[in-house]
Structure 1
Amino acid sequence: MIYFWQQVYNFCQHITSRIGDKLLEDFAKLEPTRKADGSLVTAADKWADQEIRTGIKQCFPTHGILTEETEHLLPINDWCWVVDPIDGTTNFTRGLPIWGISIGLLFKGTPVFGFVHFPQIQQTYHGYFYGDTGLTGPKGAYLNGDRIYTSNADASMNHIFTLCARSTEVLKNYFPCKIRLTGVASYNMLLVACGAALGSLEATPKIWDIAGAYPILRAAGGQLIHLEPQPVFPLPQGTDYSHRGFPSLCVAHPKLINEFKPLVEFIGEKALQHSS
């Protein structure tokens, strides 16, 4: 199993570095088009998606693939890669430096390995979290090779909490932290993982937005609370995830759940009503 995990890490490191270098050449130079769901896409998204899918098929031919741009049906394979070729396409096209390549590896529907590379700001996160899958292997969460952990601080106005653009309604009431919006779901979660933020809220992320960051967050000590009544993982196989949202609250440590969850639950309820 150690050899397998080394293969997985080496593959992610190599392909995200190569693709990232090419994307840097296209940064802020491409005009996007709008997809049916309202999100943006560029030729660079499609190219990166194809390159990653081709690489996976060559290196891991028995594994399934689910990506934002092409493959939305979770296959029945035990192992499945979930890919967002450019998380933060709007930032990428408008010249904002926070955008990345997000790759998650699922085992029987549960994310167990994540690798997220942000070429413009030269940050690369990876992590392993096996949960109840019975898998063994390397442990921990890392930023540029250094071990990272979530913060153990209490909420205060000297700490940061990140929101997505669709969850700013929480600001109508008192909120116990300073708010930031980066525009990138995976980066928001990883800010919690590395201790920079105490929490984050995503109202309508898709599975490719969170699959790469989830194992890193959990390995660093953080929690992901799904704002819906039923457990999310393991994901049912054979399901189309093109329109399925996963309203989620991330927190640095369990004590923060009771503080933040009552403030944000209505966001999850609205998101689920909208998707049903």
Structure 2
Amino acid sequence: MSAVALDAFVHDLATRSGEAILPFFRTAIGVEDKGRRKGQSFDPVTEADRAAEQVMRRMITTTFPEHGIIGEEFGNERRDADYVWALDPIDGTKSFISGMPAWGTLIGLLKQGAPVYGMMHQPFIGERFFGDGGSAHYLGPAGKRRLLTRDCGRLEDAILFTTSPLLMNAADRTLFQSVERDVRLSRYGGDCYAYCMVAAGLVDLVIETGLQDHDIVALVPVIEGAGGIVTNWEGGSPVAGGRVVAAGSKAVHEQALKRLNP
């Protein structure tokens, strides 16, 4: 598959999944709590999540029947394939059901276990952030442009995001706070949007815990393509999810890791 063909196919996935999602946004949509089934905290899923993932799965299996799929709502298929798609139809479902636009569709592609392409699509706003690890781009109301992180240099000058410290266990929250108290500004929320703002050079650091693989695979090529870095808290690969650190500069990333690994 050529780079041009891959890019066109992912944009088509984004368009079709967005068409499935938008009729449900800011409506009286039914919400199921997956967390209750598992005895965990509130973890909503909607008809929009399922409709969008079904559309993308159908397109992938029709076009690339030999490819595998990792999906939030319908499980995994052929995970040992050379090419595996990682799909999160609505990353930020809690924002979605609240009518807030800080959510997006994540579409990622792994080649032999390594992320090689990713996109975050926000169909309500009409924004797409996409990259292949070598470069990253934005397409939206402001036109098309190259994404570049900023070299913040010092943790003390950094803008930090996390979805919510309340999602962390007590030990991880204490470590997170050791970073938070030294940054210039700390904000909560954003989900996938916070990572895209790192790629856009507006946010310097995102620290999260409890991520699944489909939460992060698509975002790695976007941030790395813009010049940033994404690892787990120990500095290794973030592809499995778990505890993740994304930074616009190596210096801020290294300073954050020192506090997260005292």
TM-score (ref. length: structure 2): 0.85
Inter-partner Cα distance in structure 2 for 1:157 and 1:75:
41
Inter-partner Cα distance in structure 1 for 2:162 and 2:260:
10
| Residue 205 (structure 1) aligns with | 211
The answer to whether 1:128 aligns with 2:123 is no
Residue type at the aligned position of 2:151: N
Number of corresponding residues: 244
Inter-partner Cα distance in structure 2 for 1:47 and 1:179:
35
The answer to whether 1:259 aligns with 2:258 is no
Which of 251-260 and 205-214 deviates more? 251-260
| Residue 237 (structure 2) aligns with | 232
- Residue 245 of structure 1: how far off its partner (Å): 4.3
- Residue 263 of structure 1: how far off its partner (Å): 3.0
The answer to whether 1:142 aligns with 2:141 is no
Moved over 4 A (4+): 156-159
The answer to whether 1:181 aligns with 2:188 is yes
Q: Is the CA contact (8 Å cut-off) linking 1:227 and 1:248 kept in structure 2?
A: yes
Q: Deviations over 1:100-136 (max 9, x none)?
A: 110000000111100110112221011012xxxxxxx
Inter-partner Cα distance in structure 1 for 2:247 and 2:155:
14
**Aligned in 2, Cα 1:156/1:265: closer, same or farther, shift over 3 Å?**
closer
Q: Is the CA contact (8 Å cut-off) linking 2:20 and 2:52 kept in structure 1?
A: no
| Residue 26 (structure 1) aligns with | 24
Q: Is the CA contact (8 Å cut-off) linking 1:98 and 1:120 kept in structure 2?
A: no
Inter-partner Cα distance in structure 1 for 2:84 and 2:78:
8
Inter-partner Cα distance in structure 2 for 1:265 and 1:123:
36
**Aligned in 2, Cα 1:32/1:228: closer, same or farther, shift over 3 Å?**
farther
**Aligned in 2, Cα 1:121/1:179: closer, same or farther, shift over 3 Å?**
farther
The DSSP-based 3-state class of the residue aligned with 1:257 is helix
Q: Is the CA contact (8 Å cut-off) linking 2:148 and 2:227 kept in structure 1?
A: yes
Q: Is the CA contact (8 Å cut-off) linking 2:16 and 2:55 kept in structure 1?
A: no
- Residue 74 of structure 1: how far off its partner (Å): 6.2
**Aligned in 2, Cα 1:46/1:123: closer, same or farther, shift over 3 Å?**
same
More strand by share: 2
**Aligned in 2, Cα 1:120/1:181: closer, same or farther, shift over 3 Å?**
farther
Inter-partner Cα distance in structure 1 for 2:258 and 2:153:
16
- % same residue: 27
**Aligned in 2, Cα 1:171/1:63: closer, same or farther, shift over 3 Å?**
same
**1:1-276 correspondence to structure 2 within 5 Å:** 4-29=2-27, 30-35=29-34, 36=38, 38=41, 39-72=43-76, 75-129=79-133, 139-144=134-139, 145-155=144-154, 159-165=158-164, 166-167=167-168, 169=174, 170-171=176-177, 174-184=181-191, 186-228=192-234, 231-232=236-237, 245-265=241-261
Residue type at the aligned position of 1:176: V
| Residue 132 (structure 1) aligns with | none
- Residue 179 of structure 1: how far off its partner (Å): 1.1
| CA-based RMSD | 2.2
The DSSP-based 3-state class of the residue aligned with 2:110 is strand
Unaligned runs of 5+ in 2: none
The DSSP-based 3-state class of the residue aligned with 2:109 is strand
Unaligned runs of 5+ in 1: 130-138, 236-243, 267-276
Which of 18-27 and 203-212 deviates more? 18-27
